[in-house]
Amino acid sequence: MTTQANRPRGYFYTVLATISFSNVYIFSKAAMNDMSMSQFWFYWFLIAVSLNLAVVVSRGKLSMLRTIPKKSRWVLPTLGAMEIATTTLFFASIKVIENPAVTSFLGNLFPLFVTLMGVVLLKERFTRLETVGIVVVLIGAFITSYSGSAKLADFFIPGTGIVVLNALFAAATTILVKVKVKDFPPELLNFNRTFWLFLFAIGWILVSGDSLHVPGKALLNAGLGAFFGPFLAVLLIYKSFEHIEASRSSIIQALKGLFVMGGVLIYFGQLPQGYQIFGGVLSVAGVILIAVAKLPEQYRNKKARKENSGQKNISTIR
């Protein structure tokens, strides 16, 4: 349960998670420059699944797999398949788009799609402020993805469609988690994700016939990225949810693109085009508007839960 007193800790976890996840764009790009995609996947998810397995075993969460009802056992492999599609598109976009900061800014389409899918599939409502946020994100993404060419065929930069598909799959996965796996511990969900991704990586490396011998620098970049992203960032986000609402966390996470841009400048010496930075900042502002709009609804839901809890306590006393 969140309180005013422990919110600073939640914000601290979220800032660390945002900085940590920003490193994924940088280290994955650096690693893929020196190894094939199949080699990259194998080492990236070998490290990620090993770290997450250590967490679930140490916290005694692995035994929960045996308690899953038969009618719900389809959920985890389904999530795994969706994660494979989502992650393939994610890393493909980083590979294709020259500057990882641009990829990150375009990734702000994800909360937009989550909001729209919530309205269509879960019959949720969105406010005027969310509508404004959606429009701002779309305008920002449109500007960021502009290639500088007036030709219709070359209007958007290569990889824009991949990012859009990635955001759609990621949003669908989020909705599935929201509806079907409310009672699963986050450590188990994170392990399930990396488990299926590593199985896919094993199959890919076998089919491709690529050697497991890679340059030491590439392996170091893959190791750092796998530690900061699939392991540390996800755990920090789950930890932040113990102290602040998800909407408040999303406001800080929206700044990820700015952190990525700074990291890319330091690591690669690159900056996006001026208009891409402007579009990226617009998309960040749009995500913040969407997140801020959800705060009153989240407050009402929490208040309702407290009232229901109070009524239960009163009936128990009677």
Per-position DSSP letters for 124-186, written without gaps between them: ----HHHHHHHHHHHHHHHHHTB-S--SGGGSBPTTHHHHHHHHHHHHHHHHHHHHH-TTS-H
Cβ–Cβ < 8 Å for 108, 141: yes
Percent of the chain with pLDDT over 70: 87
The mean pLDDT of the chain is 82
Q: Is 282 inside a domain boundary?
A: no
> Which two structure tokens, joined as six digits, stand for 292?
């801020």
Percent of the chain with pLDDT over 90: 34
What is the chain's length? 318
Q: Is 238 inside a domain boundary?
A: yes
Check whether 309 has a pLDDT greater than 50: no
Q: Is 317 inside a domain boundary?
A: no
Check whether 311 has a pLDDT greater than 70: no
Place of tokens 């070998």: 46
pLDDT tens per residue across span 88-140: 999 999 999 989 999 999 888 888 888 888 877 777 777 788 889 889 999 99
Q: Is 303 inside a domain boundary?
A: no
Confidence band of 154 (pLDDT split at 50, 70, 90): confident
Cβ–Cβ < 8 Å for 111, 126: no
The helices-and-strands tally (H runs, E runs) of the chain is 13, 0
Q: Is 36 inside a domain boundary?
A: yes
- Residue 69: CB atoms within 10 A of its CB come to 6
Read off the pLDDT of each residue in 167-172 and give the average, rounded to a whole number.
88
The pLDDT of residue 310 is 41
Distance CA 100, CA 315 (A): 56
CA distances (Å), origin 162, targets 79, 88, 175, 241, 266: 20, 10, 20, 30, 26
Close Cβ partners of 197 (under 8 Å, ≥ 6 residues apart): 41, 45, 48, 49, 80, 83, 84, 87
Query: Could you tell me the residue range of the domain that residue 262 belongs to?
Result: 7-109+158-248+255-270
pLDDT tens per residue across span 260-306: 999 899 888 888 889 999 999 999 998 888 888 877 655 555 555 55
Q: Which residue has the higher pLDDT, 66 or 181?
A: 66
In this predicted structure, which of 13-17, 174-178, 191-195, 198-202 has the lowest mean pLDDT?
174-178
Domain tally, the chain = 1
Cβ–Cβ < 8 Å for 48, 197: yes
Q: Is 228 inside a domain boundary?
A: yes
Q: Is 214 inside a domain boundary?
A: yes
Q: Is 66 inside a domain boundary?
A: yes
Check whether 5 has a pLDDT greater than 60: no
pLDDT tens per residue across span 232-270: 887 787 778 777 766 677 778 778 888 899 989 988 888
Terminal Cα distance for the chain, rounded: 26
